[in-house]
């Protein structure tokens, strides 16, 4: 029997709000074939979809909807097709974001509110460790001493999703502390997300991206 060794195809979704070039380079180094595009069919048919995000929650949601990214993410996940959100690309997966008193609806893949970090120094910018849960694939091969690169002023500080069904695996939620604890990453079946930037996190980030590509 011949093994299919062709590289996995990943689309970095280009909706105007993300470091698409650095994401492209990092995913390519991790062994995937990468395309930067906002084309609907290409994004739908890729083995993996990476949704980056920088800037304001409301602006990112507006840009995503204009590019039909909300439909693409929803359709892919309903079919169990992998999606990885990074930074604001993670935040928009929650129910809503509140910035400067303005509330914006998110994609509502997970319940929760993105709000201002409660810390003496904001933004949270630089390297920090992550408290990852046992098991899972996202942090496979990575120890608790690894550091990841963060740059953000907003985060999810309460995880409220409860499955209530013992047959459904609960999402694995990783935490980081800056002032108070906040959600640093989530591994939830086909949907992965990180508040930090794996593409800027050196060897640890490269390992995480490799782990993701191996699930595609």
Active site residue 214: no
Active site residue 146: no
Of 60, 87, 124, 178, the active-site residue reads 87
Active site residue 87: yes
For CA atoms 124, 130, 132, 138, the dihedral sign is: positive
Q: How far is CA 182 from CA 10, 91, 97, 137, 179, in A?
A: 28, 12, 14, 20, 9
Of 109, 146, 187, 199, the active-site residue reads 199
Burial class (CB in 10 A: 0-12, 13-18, 19+), 129: middle
Helix (H, G, I), strand (E, B) or coil at 58: helix
Beta-carbon contacts of 167 under 8 Å, excluding residues fewer than 6 positions away, are none
Active site residues: 87, 197, 199
């Amino acid at each position: 029997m011949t093994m299919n060794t062709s590289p996995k195809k990943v689309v970095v979704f280009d909706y105007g709000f993300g470091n698409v070039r650095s994401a492209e380079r990092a995913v390519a180094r991790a062994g995937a074939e990468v395309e930067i595009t906002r084309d609907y069919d290409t994004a739908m048919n890729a083995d993996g979809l990476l949704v980056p995000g920088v800037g304001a929650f409301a602006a990112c949601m507006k840009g995503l909807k204009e590019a039909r990214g909300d439909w693409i993410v929803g359709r892919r996940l309903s079919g169990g097709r992998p999606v990885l959100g990074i930074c604001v690309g993670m935040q928009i997966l929650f129910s809503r974001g509140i910035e400067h008193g303005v509330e914006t609806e998110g994609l509502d893949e997970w319940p929760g509110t993105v709000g201002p970090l409660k810390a003496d120094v904001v933004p949270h910018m630089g390297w920090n460790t992550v408290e990852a849960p046992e098991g899972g694939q996202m942090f496979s091969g990575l120890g608790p001493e690894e550091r990841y690169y963060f740059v953000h002023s907003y985060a999810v500080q309460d995880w409220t999703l409860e499955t209530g069904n013992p047959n459904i695996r609960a999402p694995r939620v990783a935490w980081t502390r800056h002032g108070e604890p906040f959600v640093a990453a989530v591994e939830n079946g086909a949907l992965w997300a990180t508040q930090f930037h794996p593409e800027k996190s050196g060897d640890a980030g490269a390992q995480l991206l490799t782990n993701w590509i191996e699930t595609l």
